[in-house]
Amino acid sequence: MYFTSKKFTMKKHFFILFLFSSILVLSQTKQPNILVIMTDQHAASALSCMGNDNVSTPNIDRLANQGTIFNKAYVTYPLCTPSRASMFSGKMPHELEIYSNAKVGVTKNDFKDGLGVLMTRNGYESVYAGKWHIPELSMPDGIGFTNIANMGDEGLAESCVAFLDKTHEKPFFMVASFVNPHDICEYARGQRLPNGSIEETDPKDCPNLPINHPIGPYDSEILRLEQKFNPEVYPTTSFSDDDWRQYLAAYYKLVEKVDTEIGKVLDALEKNGLDKNTIVIFTSDHGDGISAHHWNQKTVLFDESVRVPLIVKDPSLDNQVKTTNQLVSIGLDFMPSILDIGGANKVSNIKGQSIKPALNGGSLKQKRDFLVIQTMFDGPNALQTLGRALVTDKYKYVIYGQGKNREQLFDLEKDPYEMTNLAYNSKYNALIESMRKDLYAWCVENNDKVVMKRLLIYPKQ
């Protein structure tokens, strides 16, 4: 009787252990796969799903048709390295002391609780394909990702497809980081395009210039000085209207080129039946001037450079909202959103928040009154002008560190193309002062010392 009872007890323990293991495995399989698709230098408006008739993006559009478009997604810094470092660490660029694309002393310690590390720790197979561009942190050393493709769009989609064709024992977190339409930088300089050539467009077939192509009244003087003294970055100061129109045509062709590559990844997702349990996020690290205000490249704080696409498709939601106008900071919210989607714990010192509640029509947990964007003009002969922007639901306040008309105020509802600088209209004195105070208080609270020393914000006491 004793042996029978012991045998029964052991069987009972084995059954409980088996049941617990099964529940654990079942819970793990419920973790969704996460696919992040990134382009580089992609303005929010440069998609056909955004009503832009000058470009055709059928593959990104199909994500938009099935997902949620975030209309007010802003970067923390309109430049590759600061923006990307922010996205994968959850920190503002000034916290990492990153103000340019140069090597700046970033260490693995800055990313010891970075996104790749935390997702891998949470049971994900974390892989990265393509452009990383945080110079002193090579892939995959100490960042949590396994590198499956180096920088460059040729063959990148195929590497992603090969990964998706495999059987996966764990849920995967994959970043597919494409370069284009970033090749517009080389195009403007008359250089060879790193990721393959495009056909030149006859001027008569090029897009019309946007309504905000002209330089507006009370334009910040320092923007034109930065262009003048840094022609290697801004070779467009002598562009004719036809030059600008060809620039636009080239930019949109580069967008269409990368859209084709994105289609290969999405097709593989569907072919392997992974689309039913994979949340897809599409975004970019910053935008491009696309000839607005006579601007090419990025760094400037106009919306074309700082507002980017953000589309999220969650197949588990039956009633996913089509669009939302909630303010999103890509640099701060990207990491906590993915951690939330993957069921991982958020790091305590991250200031951003998950955008997941917005997908089914909910509000972000903490209402965001404003977000802050940082910049510093960089380049061989740059004047290294600092700038900060404070963006609310309705207004954008901008201040640069030097020059005439260094403050800008735009009503983004009435003037989405930022053609009328209200900073020098006395009707808006009270609003300007209020936004100055908010920006100054943010700088103090977030220890943005560089700005406090060099940007010279002096709100009235």
Q: Which residues of 281-318 are buried (b: 16+ CB within 10 A; e: fewer)?
A: bbbbbbbbbbbbbbbbbbbbbbbbbbbbbbbbbbbebe
360 and 275 in one domain?
Answer: yes
Whether residue 425 is contained in a domain is answered as no
Whether residue 105 is contained in a domain is answered as yes
348 and 322 in one domain?
Answer: yes
Whether residue 382 is contained in a domain is answered as no
Residue 43 · residue 248 · CB < 8 Å = no
Could you tell me where the DSSP H helices lie in 90-137?
93-96, 115-121
CATH number at residue 176: 3.40.720.10
Q: Give the phi and the psi of residue 434 in degrees, each rounded to 5.
A: -65, -45
173 and 145 in one domain?
Answer: yes
172 and 74 in one domain?
Answer: yes
Question: H or E stretch including 420?
Answer: none
Q: DSSP letter for 381, please.
A: T
Number of domains making up the chain:
2
Whether residue 401 is contained in a domain is answered as no
Integer Cα distance of 210 and 416 in angstroms = 12
115 and 165 in one domain?
Answer: yes
Integer Cα distance of 315 and 278 in angstroms = 7
The model's pTM is 0.91
Considering 346, 365, 384, which residue would you say is the last residue of a domain? 365
Integer Cα distance of 336 and 108 in angstroms = 20
Per-residue model confidence as pLDDT tens for the chain (461 residues): 434 444 444 455 544 444 444 444 444 447 999 999 999 999 999 999 999 999 999 999 999 999 999 999 999 999 999 999 999 999 999 998 888 888 666 767 777 888 999 999 999 999 999 999 876 566 656 688 999 999 999 999 999 999 999 999 999 999 999 999 999 999 999 999 999 999 999 989 999 999 999 999 999 999 999 999 999 899 999 999 999 999 999 999 999 999 999 999 999 999 999 999 999 999 999 999 999 999 999 999 999 999 999 999 999 998 899 999 999 999 999 999 999 999 987 777 788 999 999 999 888 888 889 999 999 998 888 999 999 999 999 999 999 999 999 999 999 999 999 999 999 999 999 999 999 999 999 998 999 976 666 666 665 55
Which value, to the nearest 10 degrees, does the dihedral of the CA atoms of residues 220, 388, 76, 72 take? -70
Residue 390 · residue 370 · CB < 8 Å = yes
From residue 19, alpha-carbon distances to 15, 123, 453 in Å are 6, 20, 62
Identify whether 210 is preceded by a cis peptide bond (ω within 30 of 0). Answer: no
274 and 230 in one domain?
Answer: yes
Whether residue 426 is contained in a domain is answered as no
2 and 116 in one domain?
Answer: no
157 and 90 in one domain?
Answer: yes
Whether residue 379 is contained in a domain is answered as no
165 and 25 in one domain?
Answer: no
Full domain range(s) for residue 3: 1-30
Structure confidence at residue 4 (pLDDT):
45
Q: Tokens for 278, please give them.
A: 């994979």
Question: H or E stretch including 83?
Answer: helix 80-89
Q: How many CB atoms lie within 10 A of CB 35?
A: 23
**Tokens 């269409």 identify what position?**
256
Whether residue 73 is contained in a domain is answered as yes
Q: Answer positive or negative: Cα dihedral of 198, 201, 205, 206.
A: positive
7 and 153 in one domain?
Answer: no
DSSP bridge partners of 126: 173
Whether residue 433 is contained in a domain is answered as no
- Which amino acid is residue 285, in one-letter code? D
Considering 365, 392, 425, which residue would you say is the last residue of a domain? 365
Considering 365, 387, 419, which residue would you say is the last residue of a domain? 365
25 and 38 in one domain?
Answer: no
210 and 105 in one domain?
Answer: yes
From residue 97, alpha-carbon distances to 53, 155, 350, 366, 448 in Å are 40, 33, 16, 27, 10
Q: Answer positive or negative: Cα dihedral of 265, 270, 271, 272.
A: positive
